[in-house]
Amino acid sequence: MRTGFRLATGLCALCLVSRFEMAAQSGPGEGTAELREVRCDGQKVLTEAQIAALSGLQPGIQVGKAALQTAADKLVGSGLFATVKYDFKTRNDGVTLTFHVAESPRLPAYYDNFPWFGDSELNEAIRARLPFFDGTLPEDGSVVDEAAEAIRGLLATHRLDFPVQHQVTSNPLGEGNVQQFLIDGSSVKIASVSFSDAALASNSAAQAHLSEVVGKPYSRMAIDVFLAEQIRPVYLRQGYLRVVLGPPEIRLSGPPAEKLPAEIPVFVPVNPGAVYHLSGATWSGNNVLSSISLDSFLGLKTGAVADGMEFEGGLERVRDEYGRRGYLDAAIQPETLYNEAAHTVSYKIAVSEGTQYHMGGWVITGLSSNGEQRVRTAFPIASADVFDKIKYQDFLVALQNHSKQILGDLPAHYETVGHWLKPDPEKKTVDVLLDFK
C-alpha cells in the first residue's frame, strides 16, 4: 500500500519529467510558425483529439521549439503516458506535429468516505473537468490532482469544506490496486450494517465481526474489506462461490437535501447465487509431487459441495509442501471453470516448481557473538541441507517468543526479529538474514 497522500492542489509535472523518455528533433529555428495539425500515434484508450487537447496546442496558433517542448512536458506531467516523443514537419503553410505516445496503466477510481454522493455523481463531477475520464486514472500525475480538485468542487457546492486526498492502495474488491479518493475531517459514523439476506442476521460468524465497522467512521474501504474478509467466507464455505456482495448503500428516510445525521445506517445487497459442487481438479507442470499427492494435499472430494475456503486452504497446503522441499519460488496458479447448467466447478491448477534451494550462509545482527552461535547451533537446517521453509518459519516464531530452547539463559534483550531470505538461483542456495532489535 502506498501510504503517502497527495493533496488535490499538488503539482507533479516537474518530478515526473525525469521518469519518462522524451525525444525531439531540432526545433523550427528561433522563430515561430503556424501549427497546422496535431497528430498522435501509439494511443490505445485516448483519442487523437483528446491527446491534442491535453497538450494545450490548437491548430492555428504560432508555435516555436519551446512551445512544442512545453506541450510534450504537459503530456508527461499528466501521468497518462509512460513515454512521450514527438516530431514535426515544416512546410510553407506551417507545422504538422506528431506525438508518439505509450499510455500508462490505469487504475479504477475508488471513492472512500463520501456518504453524501453516489459513485455516479462523483464520476460526473470528474468527467465535467476531464472529459476523457472513463472511471480509471493513472497512478499519479496532474490529471489525478485535477480529479481530486473536481471532487473538492462538488463538495464545496454542498457547503462541505474538506480537502480531498488520493493514494494508490490495494483493491478490496479484487486483484490489483485502485486510485482511492478520501477526505479528512468528516465526523460521520456507521450506525448499523444490515443485509438483504436475512440469514446473515442469525449467522454468529457474521454478527461477531460487525463491531469492526459499526460505530466507526464511515469508510467504503473499511466496509468492503469487512465484506471480503468476514462475510464472503460465510458464503464460500457453503458453496456459494459466485456470491455478489454490495455495493453498500446508505438508506435514509428524511428529505434528500437534509443534512446527514452523525451516524448513518448502511445496507448491503446480497445475491448468493447458486451452490456449486466439485467436479474435479487437474494439475500441470508438477514433477516433484505427483498429481495424486497434490490431490491429497488439496483435500477436496468430487461431488461434494465446493467449499471455497477449503480450496484456498488446500492451495496453501500445497505451497507449504513445496516449501518443505526447498522450492521457495514455487507458484501455484488455479483456473476456475464453472458449469452453470450443472452448477459444478472444476479447477485447472498450473504448477511452476522453480529451483530447489539448500541452506547457505548467515547474516545476524543485534546479538552478541555467543547469542549468534546459539542461534546457528539451534537452527534446524544444517549447512547445504535442503532448505525447509516450514522449519525456518517455526524457528522464527520460537525466536519471537524468546524460546529458551534457543538462547537458554543467555541475556538477550530484543523486541522484534527482522528476517529475510536471500536466494541465489545460480548456486541454488539461500542465505538467512536476522536482525534482532
Mark whether 60 and 198 lie in a shared domain.
no
Q: Which triple of cell numbers denotes residue 153?
A: 468542487
CB 105 within 8 A of CB 138: yes
% of the chain with per-residue pLDDT over 70: 92
Tell me, rounded to whole angstroms, the distance of Cα 82 from its chain centroid: 19
Give me the sign of the Cα torsion angle 116, 119, 122, 128: negative
Examine the fold and report which residue of 135, 163, 183 is the final residue of a domain before the chain moves on.
Answer: 183
**Which backbone phi and psi does 8 adopt, to 5 degrees?**
-60, -30
Query: Residue 132 is placed in which grid cell?
Result: 476523457
Instruction: Please check whether residues 387 and 314 belong to one and the same domain.
Output: no
pLDDT in tens, 41-71: 999 999 999 999 999 998 999 988 899 999 9
- Please give the grid coordinates belonging to residue 41: 500515434
Looking at the structure, do residues 90 and 214 belong to the same domain, yes or no?
no
Same domain as 163, residue 204: no
Parallel, antiparallel or unpaired: strands 81-91 and 62-63: unpaired
Cβ contacts of 51 within 8 Å, gap of 6 or more: 38, 40, 43, 75, 99, 101
Query: What are the grid coordinates assigned to 227, written together?
Result: 465484506
3-state DSSP helix/strand/coil % of the chain, to nearest 5: 30, 30, 40
Neighbouring C-beta atoms of residue 281, cutoff 10 Å: 19
| Angstrom distance (rounded) from CA 273 to CA 243 | 6
Q: Domain range for residue 292?
A: 277-352
- The H or E element containing residue 376 is helix 369-378
Contact 362, 376 (CB under 8 A): yes
Give the number of C-alpha atoms closer than 13 A to the C-alpha of residue 336, restricted to the C-beta side: 14
Same domain, 123 and 50: yes
* Exposure of 275 in the CB half-sphere (CA atoms within 13 A): 8
Q: What pLDDT is recorded for position 411?
A: 81
In this structure, are 7 and 58 located in the same domain?
A: yes
Query: Among all chains, which residue has been given the C-alpha cell 462523483?
Result: 122
| Same structural domain, 38 and 10 | yes
Phi-psi region of 330 (alpha: psi -120 to 50; beta: other; left: phi over 0): beta
- Give the pLDDT band of residue 251 (cuts 50, 70, 90): confident
Q: What is the pLDDT of residues 295-319, one digit of tens each?
A: 999 999 999 999 999 999 999 999 9
Report the C-alpha gap between 322 and 426 in whole angstroms. 19
pLDDT beyond 60 at 12: no
pLDDT value at 343 more than 80: yes
- Over residues 134-183, the pLDDT tens digits come to 999 999 999 999 999 999 999 999 889 999 999 999 999 888 999 999 99
Q: Is the confidence at residue 390, as pLDDT, over 80?
A: yes
Average confidence (pLDDT) over 82-100: 90
Do residues 150 and 227 share a domain?
A: no
Average pLDDT of the residues in 365-394? 94
Using CA atoms, how far residue 170 sits from 136, 177, 201, 257, in Å, is: 15, 4, 29, 34
Could you list the beta-strand ranges (E) of 224-317.
Answer: 244-245, 249-250, 263-268, 270-271, 277-284
Give the integer Cα–Cα distance in Å for 402 and 288. Answer: 36
Number of domains in the chain: 4
335 φ, ψ (degrees, to nearest 5): -120, 125
Element holding 181 (H helix, E strand)? strand 177-183
Mark whether 265 and 288 lie in a shared domain. no
**Strand, helix or coil for residue 360:** strand
Which distant-in-sequence residues (6+ apart) come within 8 Å of 403 by Cβ? Answer: none
205: left (phi over 0), alpha (psi -120 to 50) or beta: alpha
3-class DSSP state of 196: coil
Q: How many CB atoms lie within 10 A of CB 73?
A: 18
Last residue of a domain, one of 183, 199, 224: 183
Of 183, 209, 229, which marks where a domain is finished? Answer: 183
Question: What's the CA angle centered on 353, arms 352 and 358, to 5 degrees?
Answer: 150
Same domain, yes or no, for 193 and 291?
no
Helical (H) or strand (E) element with 193? strand 189-195
The pLDDT tens digits for 107-130 are 999 999 999 999 999 999 999 999
Asked if residue 354 lies in contact with residue 329, where contact means CB atoms within 8 angstroms, the answer is yes
One domain, residues 210 and 322: no
The distance between the two most distant Cα atoms of the chain, rounded to a whole number of Å, is 90
For position 253, what pLDDT does the model report?
64
Over residues 197-222, mean pLDDT: 93
Asked whether the beta carbons of 260 and 186 are under 8 A apart, the reply is: no
What is the Cα–Cα distance from 329 to 352, expressed in whole angstroms? 8
Computed on alpha carbons and rounded to an integer, the radius of gyration of the chain in Å comes to 29
- The closest alpha carbon to 283, from 269, 298, 270, 268, belongs to 298
Q: What is the CATH number of the domain that holds 333?
A: 3.10.20.310
Strands 263-268 and 189-195: parallel
Residues 340 and 258 in one domain: no
* pLDDT confidence of residue 17: 34
